[in-house]
């Protein structure tokens, strides 16, 4: 949680600590996040090896890196919606489904990037 009034280096340190707390929560509670990080760990050396140059390597790795990034946002949306209430409401379902769709689109985008670079 943010600490009001912090500036400069103390604010950066606090922000980093908050970010690491979020990573820890995702790691502990989100199976999809753990799977996507494993996929990133595997894709990283392959992206370096299979990319012909820095741009291709960055595209290969970056496209996979985007997936766990969006998974953290998806998890945040789900947590906020669940915090508001557990009663069924169509807008709650929309928010969760749309956030989940962003992860799916990132997966499609990564597959497209890998396919275009490796098979073109």
Inter-residue contact 77 to 64 (CB < 8 Å): no
pLDDT value at residue 1? 60
56 catalytically annotated: no
Provide the residue ranges of all domains of the chain, joining segments of one domain with +.
31-118
Cα dihedral 116, 68, 49, 58 in deg (nearest 10): 70
| 31, HSE (Cβ side, Cα atoms, 13 Å) | 0
What tokens does 71 get?
Answer: 């998974």
**Active-site hit among 30, 36, 56, 71:** 71
pTM equals: 0.88
Q: What is the dotted CATH code of the domain comprising 31-118?
A: 1.10.287.3610
In total, the chain counts a number of residues equal to 120
CB-CB neighbours of 53 under 10 Å: 8
What tokens does 118 get?
Answer: 């490796």
Q: State pLDDT tens for residues 24-63.
A: 999 999 999 999 999 999 999 999 999 999 999 999 999 9
């Amino acid at each position: 949680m943010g600490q009001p009034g912090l500036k400069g280096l103390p604010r950066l340190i606090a922000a980093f600590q908050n970010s690491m707390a979020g990573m820890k929560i995702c790691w502990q509670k989100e199976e999809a996040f753990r799977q996507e990080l494993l996929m990133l760990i595997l894709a990283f050396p392959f992206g370096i090896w299979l990319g012909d140059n820095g741009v291709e390597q960055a595209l290969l790795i970056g496209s996979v890196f985007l997936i766990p990034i969006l998974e953290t946002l998806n998890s945040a949306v789900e947590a906020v919606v669940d915090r508001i209430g557990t009663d069924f409401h169509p807008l709650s379902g929309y928010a969760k489904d749309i956030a989940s769709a962003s992860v799916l689109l990132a997966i499609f985008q990564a597959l497209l990037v890998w396919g275009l670079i490796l098979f073109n």
